[in-house]
Amino acid sequence: MKNSPHKEIMRELDFAINELQELEAYPLEKLAEIVKDVGFECERCTRCCTREYNDHVFLLEKDVERVLSIDPDCTAPAPYFDFCDKNGTFYVEGYALRYKDDGTCKFLKNGLCSIYNERPSICRIYPYMLHREMDEEGNLDWRQVSGLNEHGYYHVEMDDETSLDIARQVKEYEALYLKQRINFFKTVLKHFEQNKLRHVQRQYDLLMRNFDKGEDVGVLVYHKGKLQPHKHKI
């Protein structure tokens, strides 16, 4: 792997495979206990539906067609592109919801989610998660709640069945996300090998600077085993 022209992809692929194994081994009951102890209840502040607070709403593959059937213009390539080839094409693992110019989700209307029953998977489990992230000392550790104590009500009474159900949904979401990421890496790897391409960091940095200034870039977005072309600007 050290001398492979695709070492960046293979490193990310290994990391995602390892994280999926760790996720599957994480005890459901332990997560359910944390969920029950946190006892989160939404206070409808709507902060989690804004770019300022949540950066972006990532869509799993199974969410994409559902939200597009409600609004055909509601998706965009997820931010933070993963790779860039020598021709200046970026690659990213999936789609995100498009925000309005004021930085709020397209579906937030009068302080409520207008597609509540059809909302994306991430909106259903929020603020719970099961990510391995660096802690303050730089060690990899599990993070289970987003924005703890920054919004909502806490320590609201919850029965065991509800906390187990939430924990199950969180693990399911994270597993689907990691499988999508793994398939994305495998697809890019194949695409690079077939087309004699590789990731070029210098090109990535240069074009990202232009993109941040508002220039168009070409992006290939992973969706259901394929890389779909997009013209994209901020």
**Residue 34: CB partners within 8 Å, gap ≥ 6?**
144, 145
Q: How far is it, in rounded angstroms, from Cα 2 to Cα 118?
A: 45
Pick from 13, 59, 64, 108: which binds ligand SF4 (CB under 6 A)? 108
**Which is nearest to 89 in space by CA: 186, 222, 181?**
222
Using rule CB under 6 A, residue 49 touches ligand SF4: yes
Smallest distance, ligand SF4 to C-beta of residue 70, A: 10
Q: How far is it, in rounded angstroms, from Cα 55 to Cα 47?
A: 11
**Residue 37: CB partners within 8 Å, gap ≥ 6?**
155
Smallest distance, ligand SF4 to C-beta of residue 75, A: 12
Q: By C-beta, is 92 or 123 nearer to ligand SF4?
A: 123
Pick from 10, 60, 68, 113: which binds ligand SF4 (CB under 6 A)? 113
Smallest distance, ligand SF4 to C-beta of residue 40, A: 15
Pick from 9, 59, 76, 115: which binds ligand SF4 (CB under 6 A)? 115
Q: Do 152 and 41 contact (CB within 8 A), yes or no?
A: yes
Using rule CB under 6 A, residue 17 touches ligand SF4: no
- Residues of span 147-186 touching ligand SF4 by CB under 6 A: none
Q: How far is it, in rounded angstroms, from Cα 14 to Cα 5?
A: 16
Pick from 107, 128, 192, 222: which binds ligand SF4 (CB under 6 A)? 107
In a 10 Å sphere around its CB, with 0-12 CB exposed, 13-18 middle and 19+ buried, how is residue 93 labelled? buried
**Three-state secondary-structure class, residue 152:** coil
Using rule CB under 6 A, residue 59 touches ligand SF4: no
45: how many CB neighbours lie within 10 A of its CB? 13
Binding letters toward ligand SF4, positions 117-136, x by CB under 6 A:
--xx--x-------------
Contacts with ligand SF4: how many residues (CB under 6 A)? 10
Q: Which residues bind ligand SF4 (CB under 6 A)?
A: 49, 57, 105, 107-108, 113, 115, 119-120, 123
